[in-house]
C-alpha cells in the first residue's frame, strides 16, 4: 500500500527537507516541466543504485543527470560547438544532451550504465531549479514510476506508484508539458535523435538543419528505448476510428463525442493532448478499463512524441 503522507506542498521548509534528503543520499521526487522525476545524488553509487531498485529498472538503462546550469554541466562532459548551440537555445527546458564524459567526471558510472557518455538536462521548472540550486547536488532522475509503467505528471501519480519508496514528494501541481524530454546524442557536429519529446524535431532542425534518427531500439544508441513502456495495465489499440466491445475510447479532435470516454484535445491541439496523455492513461487505468482504443494522432511536432509513447503503450508486454 502506498502512502501519500510524504507529499508536500512547496514551501521553504519542504524544499529544505528535500535538499537535505538528497544530500543524505535519499530518494526525492520532484516536478519538472516534463514529468515528475525520482531523484538522488548522481555522484553516489549507492544513491544511484537505489533509484534502479525503487523503479525495478534494468541496470543497462542509463539515467539523466539534472543540473541548474550549463556551466556545471561543462565540468562533467565535453561540449562541442553544436552542443553549446543546443544548450544555449533549449536550456533550461525539455532537451537532454548525451555527451562524452570527462575523465574526471564526478558522476557515478552506474548513471551512465557503463557507457562513456552521460545524459544531461537543465530543467525549466522553478521548483526543480530551486531544489538543484539549494541542494548543490547533481541529481540523477528518471521518471518517477515503476519501470515500464505510465510516467507521472502529478504528485499523486508518484505517490500511487512509488510513494513509500521515496523520502519526500514535492507537489508542484500537474506538469506543464506532460511528456519526457527529447534526448539527442551529440558527437562533434552530428546530432542523433534518440527519443522524441518536449522539444520537437522541427525545432531542432530549424536550428541545425537535418538531424539523424537512431535506428529504432538500437541497443547501443538508446539503451532505454524498451519497446513496451509507458504502458497502462490493459491492452491498448491505436488509430481507432470506433469502439469495439469492452473498450474505452480515448479521442483526439472532434467527431467521436458519442462513444469517447475522454478526449486528449477536442480542439486537436497537440500541446494540450501531450499534457493530458499520461494523466488520462492513469485515469483510464484507475477506472479499471480492460482495453483502451485511441484515436489517431498526427505524427508531426509534439504528435511525434505522443505517437512514440502510444506505440510503446500498445506494444506486447513481455
- Name the site residues for ligand TXA (rule: CB under 6 A): 32, 34-35, 37, 61-64, 96, 98, 112, 115, 117-119, 121, 141-143, 180-181, 183, 194-195, 222-225
* Residue span 220-259 as binding mask against Mg ion, x where in contact by CB under 5 A, dash where not: ----------------------------------------
Instruction: Determine, following the binding rule CB under 5 A, whether residue 200 of this chain makes contact with Mg ion.
Output: no
In angstroms, the CA 273 to CA 270 distance is: 5
Instruction: Determine, following the binding rule CB under 5 A, whether residue 154 of this chain makes contact with Mg ion.
Output: no
CB of 304 to ligand TXA, least distance (A): 15
Q: Tell whether the torsion through CA atoms of 153, 159, 164 and 169 is positive or negative.
A: positive
Instruction: Determine, following the binding rule CB under 5 A, whether residue 276 of this chain makes contact with Mg ion.
Output: no
CB of 178 to Mg ion, least distance (A): 13
Q: Quote the Cα angle for 216-219-220, to 5°.
A: 110
Stretches 63-71, 116-124, 139-147, 249-257: which one binds Mg ion (CB under 5 A)? 139-147
Stretches 6-14, 107-115, 137-145, 164-172: which one binds Mg ion (CB under 5 A)? 137-145
Q: Which is nearer to ligand TXA, 132 or 270 (CB)?
A: 132
Closest by alpha carbon to 171, among 125, 135, 140, 134? 125
CB of 90 to ligand TXA, least distance (A): 13
CB of 222 to ligand TXA, least distance (A): 5
Question: By the 8 A CB rule, do 231 and 317 touch?
Answer: yes
In angstroms, the CA 147 to CA 231 distance is: 10
Query: Which residue is at the shortest CB distance from ligand TXA?
Result: 224
Q: Which is nearer to ligand TXA, 14 or 125 (CB)?
A: 125
Q: Which is nearer to ligand TXA, 117 or 307 (CB)?
A: 117
Q: Binding residue for Mg ion (CB under 5 A) from 6, 112, 143, 153?
A: 143
Bridge partners for 292 per DSSP: 236, 248
Q: Which is nearer to ligand TXA, 15 or 118 (CB)?
A: 118
* Residue 14's binding partner out of Mg ion, ligand TXA, none, with CB under 5 to 8 Å set by partner kind: none
CB of 114 to ligand TXA, least distance (A): 9
In angstroms, the CA 272 to CA 255 distance is: 17
Instruction: Determine, following the binding rule CB under 5 A, whether residue 34 of this chain makes contact with Mg ion.
Output: no
CB of 235 to Mg ion, least distance (A): 21
CB of 65 to ligand TXA, least distance (A): 9
Q: Which is nearer to Mg ion, 143 or 182 (CB)?
A: 143
Q: Which residues bind Mg ion (CB under 5 A)?
A: 143
Amino acid at each position: 500500500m502506498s502512502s501519500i503522507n510524504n507529499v508536500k506542498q512547496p514551501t521553504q521548509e519542504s524544499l529544505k527537507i528535500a535538499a537535505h534528503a538528497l544530500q543524505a543520499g535519499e530518494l526525492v521526487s520532484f516536478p519538472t516541466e516534463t514529468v515528475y522525476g525520482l531523484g538522488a545524488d548522481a555522484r553516489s553509487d549507492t544513491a544511484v543504485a537505489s533509484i534502479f531498485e525503487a523503479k525495478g529498472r534494468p541496470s543497462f538503462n542509463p539515467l539523466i543527470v539534472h543540473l541548474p546550469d550549463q556551466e556545471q554541466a561543462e565540468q562533467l562532459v565535453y561540449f562541442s560547438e553544436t552542443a553549446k548551440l543546443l544548450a544555449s537555445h533549449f536550456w533550461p527546458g525539455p532537451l537532454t544532451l548525451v555527451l562524452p564524459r570527462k575523465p574526471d567526471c564526478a558522476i557515478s558510472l552506474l548513471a551512465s550504465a557503463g557507457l562513456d557518455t552521460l545524459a544531461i538536462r537543465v530543467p525549466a521548472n522553478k521548483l526543480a531549479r530551486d531544489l538543484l540550486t539549494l541542494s548543490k547536488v547533481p541529481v540523477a532522475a528518471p521518471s518517477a514510476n515503476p519501470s515500464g509503467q505510465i510516467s507521472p505528471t502529478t504528485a499523486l501519480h508518484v505517490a500511487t506508484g512509488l510513494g513509500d519508496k521515496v523520502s519526500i514528494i514535492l507537489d508542484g501541481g500537474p506538469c506543464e508539458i506532460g511528456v519526457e524530454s527529447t534526448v539527442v546524442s551529440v558527437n562533434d557536429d552530428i546530432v542523433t535523435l534518440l527519443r522524441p519529446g518536449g522539444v520537437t524535431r522541427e525545432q531542432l532542425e530549424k536550428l541545425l538543419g537535418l538531424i539523424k534518427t537512431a535506428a529504432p531500439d538500437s541497443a547501443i544508441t538508446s539503451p532505454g528505448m524498451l519497446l513496451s513502456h509507458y504502458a497502462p495495465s490493459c491492452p491498448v489499440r491505436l488509430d481507432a476510428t470506433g469502439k469495439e466491445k469492452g473498450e474505452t475510447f480515448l479521442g483526439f479532435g472532434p467527431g467521436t463525442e458519442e462513444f469517447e470516454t475522454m478526449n486528449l484535445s477536442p480542439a486537436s491541439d497537440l500541446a494540450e493532448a501531450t499534457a493530458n496523455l499520461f494523466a488520462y492513461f492513469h485515469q483510464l487505468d484507475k477506472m479499471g478499463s480492460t482495453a483502451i482504443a485511441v484515436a489517431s494522432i498526427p505524427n508531426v511536432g509534439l504528435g511525434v512524441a505522443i505517437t512514440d509513447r502510444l506505440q510503446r503503450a500498445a506494444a506486447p508486454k513481455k
